[in-house]
Amino acid sequence: MDKRLEANLRVKGSITDALFALMQKKNLADITITEIINDAGVARASFYRNYKSKSDVIVVLIRDILERFRNGREITSINYRSRQHVKKFFLYFRTYSSYFINLYNANLISLLIDELNAFQAAMAGEAAMSSPDKYCVYFYMGALFNVSFEWTRAGCVEPLDDMVDVFCKEMGII
């Protein structure tokens, strides 16, 4: 990987980690860019090279996670309403649960839901989103979000495959 790209990824990771650490202590509105860059150990220019605002840090993180999900080799040719897709979604939710729970605790979960809806709409395709069927896409995403979020918030006590089985059974996914 290009050294500049690696360095930029480290900077973005430091900024994201600093913001989420600060969000555990105070509201997003009360956090300053100065606090974020000081805690991240980066220059102000580095922040503004990558982000427009504090909330942009969160949106970019969510989009990066979803892009990794989309680009995963095992998901590229899978129907979004398949057992494999559901399992992959649960795995991602478990992997990034600390970020998602932090967003929930900060009353910012709507940022995640908006990005998940846009992501699912893109996966469903333009035809599905230009008809009343688009509400089925939102229904599906809402169910998948709620079940996976509550599972991770409860500490992922139940085995992953059991959760996938329950979700797929309720959604009629074979």
Which of 91, 89, 93 shows the shortest CA–CA distance to 104?
93
pLDDT (tens digit, 0 to 9) for every residue of the chain, 174 residues total? 688 888 888 999 999 999 999 999 999 999 999 999 999 999 999 999 999 999 999 999 998 888 888 876 454 445 778 899 899 999 999 999 999 999 999 999 999 999 998 888 887 777 677 778 788 888 999 999 999 999 999 999 999 999 999 999 999 998
**Phi/psi of residue 156, each to 5°?**
55, 45
Chain-centroid distance, C-alpha 1: 24
Mapped onto helix, strand or coil, the DSSP state of residue 122 is helix
Quote the strand ranges of the chain, DSSP E.
none
Q: Could you give the angle at which helices 97-105 and 109-124 cross, rounded to 10 degrees? A: 130
Note the pLDDT of residue 76: 47
Q: Are 87 and 143 in contact (CB under 8 A)?
A: no
Rounded Cα–Cα distance for residues 116 and 84 (Å)? 18
Which CATH architecture group holds 1-51? Orthogonal Bundle (1.10)
Rounded Cα–Cα distance for residues 6 and 95 (Å)? 21
Rounded Cα–Cα distance for residues 24 and 103 (Å)? 10
Domain ranges in the chain are 1-51, 55-174
Rounded Cα–Cα distance for residues 72 and 66 (Å)? 10
> How many alpha carbons lie under 13 Å from residue 155 in its C-beta half-sphere?
1
Structure tokens at 115: 């990005």
